[in-house]
Each structure stands twice: as structure tokens, then as C-alpha cells.
Amino acid sequence: MKYLIAVSLIWAFSFGLIKTRLAGVDPALVAWVRLVIPLPLFLPCFRPKGLPWRLMARLVLTGAVQYGLMYIAYLRAFRYLDAYQVALYTILTPIYVALIDDLLRRRFQRTDFWAAVLAVAGAAVITYRRPALGGIVTGFLLVQLSNLCFAAGQIDYRNLRPRFRSLKDREVYFLLFLGGAAAAAPAVTLAGSWGELSRLSLSQAGTLLYLGAVASGLGFLWWNQGAVLTSAGTLAVFNNLKIPLAVAVSLLVFGEAADPVRLILGGGIILAGLGLAGRGRGNKWFASAPD
């Protein structure tokens, strides 16, 4: 449980750090740096022996979707939303995990659909401001694209995991971060933002180092280790613990402003949707929700 507590706190501060310290830095560049920094951390652990090249290529592709495309969409959403809003909207990921699994298994769970509807309604209650509606909708959709990429990558990794039972997760994670960095690189090139690397302030460079090495690199590893050591119910709680923590940190530590009535009402509607999905699925779906 100590791993899950540590990672939940780490991720709770990440939203505010991105919004306050990295404002103005190209999101694609931030994504690429966050995914390149873990590579030297996981390279010594990499064990390619016995892994078919097709499986390694699949892991790289999974990383490209789950980390690369996810981070590009997620980080760009900060241009349209406050940090607490981005954090709150990531709560939909477990529902997407269930919906994607339904699609692959060619079945339909009505509870998942209505849970998603409730979550969208709750998000609308929190953020509806007519003058800025266009930007809010764009930010919300970017977070949902990020959630979908994370959910799809997670399901694919879960399906691939039995094919390398003799290895530990950290022994193949280099491939996932490699795929993520490779996916983010073309976006940086298209944005023409490689030159921003030389213009980063000391504070921005330090923030990126922390986010890449700790929040992205060690965070994902520690989370997987904690997941193995806890029950499904405990893991379910911790999967969503970062949401209220991140909202609280963004409001209290980073000084963001929010309408408390809307926040409580909308957050309650979103939690109702999450509870509906959990009732239809059981804890196992929420126990495996990515962060």
C-alpha cells in the first residue's frame, strides 16, 4: 500500500506543476521530454532475450498509444482547462476501459453507457461558462482522447502480458517508453518547437526532470508493484484517490479558483456515474484503471 500512497501524492502535484511551471512550453515537447527521461532509468533493466521481435514491436506500439499519444492530448488540454478540471476529467478512464473491452468482446453494457453520460453531465455542471464554452469543450475532448489512449494501451498491455510471464514489468518497460517518445517526436517536429529546449528556464527544466523521472518513470513502476501487493478493492480506491487529491492541491497549493457549489454538485454526478459503472462491472475494472 505504501507504493500506492506515494504515487497518488506524486500524481496529485503533477497537474498543478504542469499548469503553473510549464505554461507556454509546447505540449508535444513536454510529452517527449517526459518520455525520454525514463529511458536511461529502464535501459539497465531491459531483458530482450527470449522476446520475439514481433512482441517487442507490439510493446513499442502499445507505448506509443498509451504514453505518447496520451501525453500529447493530455498536456495540450492544460491550455484550455484549469489543472483541477484536467484532474477531474481523468476519472472517466475506467469507464473507457470497460467500453473498449466491450467493443473487443462484441457486447454492450448499458451501465457503462449511462455511466459515461452521467460523467459528461457532471463535467458540464462544473465548467459551463458561456463565454468560454468553445475552449472548455476542446479541453474536455482532449482529456477524453487522452483517457481513451490510456485505456486502449492498458488493455493491449494486459493482453500481451501473459506472453512474457518469466519477465517482470520493469524488464520490458523500456520498450513502452521508447514507443511513447517515438510517437511524441513527430508532433514536436510539426510544431517546430525543438528550439524551446535551449530556452527552458532552470525551473522548467527541473520540473520536467521531476515529471519524467519521478511522476512518469518511477510512478508507473511503483504503481504496478503496489497493484500486485494489494487487494482489488484497495486498488480500486487508490485508482481514484489521486482525483480529489489533485483537485485539492490545485485549489489550495497552486491557488486556482473554482465555484465550490458547482464543483461539489458536478463531482457528485461524476462519482455517481463511476459508481454505476462499478456496480455493473465489479471492482476488477476499477482495480486496473490506468493513471
Q: Give mean pLDDT, residues 272-280.
A: 63
Residue with cell 482522447: 145
Q: How many CB atoms lie within 10 A of CB 94?
A: 27
Q: Residue 192 above 70 pLDDT?
A: yes
**Amino acid of residue 45:** C
Amino acid (one-letter) located at 285: W
- Domain with 140, as residue range(s), is 2-287
* Count of structural domains within the chain: 1
CB-CB contact of 121 with 41 (8 Å) = no
- What are the φ and ψ backbone dihedral angles of 51, each rounded to 5 degrees? -90, 120
pLDDT for 116-174, tens place per residue?
Answer: 667 667 766 765 555 455 577 889 899 999 988 988 887 788 778 888 888 888 899 99
Q: For residue 289, what pLDDT is reported?
A: 37
Q: How far apart are CA 40 and CA 248, in angstroms?
A: 33
Quote the CA–CA distance of 130 and 150 in Å, as a whole number: 30
CA contacts within 13 A on the Cβ side of 179: 21
Alpha helices per DSSP H over 128-218: 133-160, 173-191, 202-210
Q: Which of 215-224, 226-235, 246-255 holds the top average pLDDT?
A: 215-224
Tens digit of pLDDT for each residue in 203-226? 999 999 999 999 999 887 887 667
User: For the whole model, what pTM was predicted?
Assistant: 0.79
The C-alpha cell at 57 is: 514491436
